Amino acid sequence: MQKNKQKNAKIPFLYFLLIIGFLIFLSTLLYWAQIDRRLPRLYAKDVNIALRGSIISKNGYTIARSKKLYKAVVDTRNINPNKREMFVKLYSLYSGENTKSIKKSINSYFGTVVLSYKIDAISAQRLRELARKLYRLGVFVSYEDKKNGITFLHGLNIVESGEYRVYNYKDTLTPIIGYVRKYEKNRITKIYGVKGLEKEYNNILNPAQDGMIKGSKDIAGNIILNGDSEIITRVDGANLHLNISLKFQKIVENILDKYKKELQAKEIIASVMDSYTGKILMLASSNRYNPSKILKNQYQNLNVTAVEFAYEPGSVLKPVIFSLLLEKKLVNPYDLVRIYGGKYKIGRKIIRDSHTFDWLSAEDVIVHSSNVGISQLAQKLKYIEYYNGLKKFGFTKKSGVDLPYEHKGVMPRPYQLKSEIYKAVTAYGYGIEANFMQLLKIYNIFNNNGRAISPRIVDYYQDAYGRKYYKNAKKYTQVIPVDVAKRMQKILVKTVQKGTATAAKIGGLQIGGKTGTSHIAKNGKYTNLYNSSFFGFANDEKHHYTIGVLVRKPQKKYYYYASLTAVPVFKSIIEEMIEEGYLLPKDTVKTQ
């Protein structure tokens, strides 16, 4: 009996010991679970940062592209104290960094330190080779964390830190190419478009998805690819393919640079557009900059003047008014108009011509650019016909060109066009404002059978999978009847043959256009400064191109007239188009 009592007493004690042991076991598990974050990780993650898409010219040259940035990270606890100097010298040699700055970095903190933030791909590869050599040379040694007893060996790591933008041809194609700014996201340098095409197509150019490989690692720290690995494919941004040839663009930019200096102009803008497709083959400015290194004195060049600057167009507006008169059958091209020797009074305003004609045919009012003649003819339009006609041509509407921040311009209100004076001054291009691309689109109507089409710089964009997405032009809009457009085309050709633009003549081509010289207003008054422009077209038997030139504030003495400024630039561009094979004069075709 006594023995049984002793056995029964031991059983609860054994249960108690088992429970205590189990609790100790659980506590141990919980403890190790808690400190697991301090142990060397058994898995690794390798991020492959996706890049912004490139911008590529018509002839295959990459104008803008992105490159990866890398940073060099070292754990100073793993640097062998006896070989610290060797590390500094070798890292300086491979990276090009100053030895003093490297010493300062590794001495400033006991732990993980970033030695360099902006390393390109080539330097990154060299530094990775250096990291392997440093391991072999014993520069890195294991370090034991006394807090938790964990031993680790990190050494030198080269990791991706973002991207930066490269513009291979410096100022070429600026300002329309635009530029970017950088920002930090999760310690990664990202970029976004601020101006030009970089801004307009920012969402398309932006990278879609960073790549990543995540999985268990081996003893050397390499990721083991197996069924448990996680792989996310890197998807870069789409590439933009332009309608613009780099060679032709550069040729015209050189022409504009030459004339800007010769005419002492503030800026010269020029563009060539395929009249039937709306493709912009060239859009150039004399005021350019290098997007990789924008200087303070170039800030004024950052805006795309072709769309962001609206001005009073002057006499280039006369053909628009004349076409409205033809459409309404309010004028016959052969009607005679009295010019009064180039001086005519409406109310209190005296309207003057630079030529002293007494009589001109209605079409010759355009050919010889008579302010007096168009002022009288414009009175035939009812104010609402006048207003609706200007709106129909696209005034105060965006041209639709693929550039941001387009200025819509301004025009008189309907009630203002009840006034004879408003009708007159608007007819020869004052009291109304438009931007360069709006006027190019308007003149394209005369060379495209009366149809309007939106200009477009980008032909298509291609995504990371090779799929192409074409920037199809919007549907044609019939602005004026075909017969009216054909008649206007003939009148503009006559302007080049016999009128104010004879300096644009080139044999074997159909060339037409209209000059425009307008005073620049400042503080409510017109000054002796001018904007001079010429908008027109150049056609051969197969090709039809609409061309525009704007010369802002030419200050060479007596050279403010468009016939002496914009027209010679226009002709120089056509001569280069012949040289480059865009146009084939009839004599050239016969020779071939």
Per-residue pLDDT of the chain (592 residues; tens, 9 = 90+): 555 555 555 666 667 777 777 777 777 666 655 554 444 456 666 778 889 999 999 999 999 999 988 888 888 888 888 888 998 889 888 888 888 888 888 888 788 888 887 888 888 888 888 888 888 888 888 887 777 777 777 788 888 888 999 999 999 999 999 999 998 887 788 899 999 999 999 999 999 888 877 777 654 456 666 766 778 888 999 999 999 999 999 999 999 999 999 999 999 999 999 999 999 999 999 999 999 999 888 998 999 999 999 999 999 999 999 999 999 999 999 999 999 999 999 988 999 998 889 999 999 999 999 999 999 999 999 999 999 999 999 999 999 999 999 999 999 999 999 999 999 999 999 999 999 999 999 999 999 999 999 999 999 999 999 999 997 766 789 999 999 999 999 999 999 999 999 999 999 999 999 999 999 988 888 888 999 999 999 999 999 999 999 999 999 988 889 999 999 999 999 999 999 999 999 875 444 4
Element (H, E) at 487: helix 482-498
Total number of residues shown for the chain = 592
3 state SS of 17? helix
What residues contact residue 507 under an 8 Å CB cut-off, 6+ apart? 585, 586, 587
pLDDT for 8: 59
Residue 26 included in any domain = no
Residue 543 included in any domain = yes
pLDDT for 142: 85
pLDDT for 117: 79
Domain around 114: 69-161
Q: Which domain-ending residue is among 161, 182, 208?
A: 161
Residue 20 included in any domain = no
- Identify whether residues 137 and 252 lie together within a single domain: no
In sequence order, the β-bridge partners of residue 156 are: 74
Six-digit token string for 135: 């391991």
Residue pair 259/569 in contact (Cβ under 8 Å)? The answer is: yes
Residue 233 included in any domain = no
Q: Which domain-ending residue is among 132, 161, 190?
A: 161
Number of domains in the chain: 2
pLDDT for 364: 97
Residue 389 included in any domain = yes
Residue 573 included in any domain = yes
Q: Which domain-ending residue is among 161, 184, 212?
A: 161
Going by C-alpha positions, the residue among 325, 337, 408 that lies closest to residue 373 is: 337
- Identify whether residues 414 and 309 lie together within a single domain: yes
pLDDT for 554: 96
- Identify whether residues 251 and 156 lie together within a single domain: no
Residue pair 274/447 in contact (Cβ under 8 Å)? The answer is: no
Please give the model's pTM, rounded to 2 decimal places.
Answer: 0.85
Q: What is the 3-state secondary structure (H, E, C) of 213-261?
A: EEEEECCCCCECCCCCCEEECCECCCEEEECCCHHHHHHHHHHHHHHHH
Question: Residue 522 — φ and ψ, nearest 5°?
Answer: -145, 125
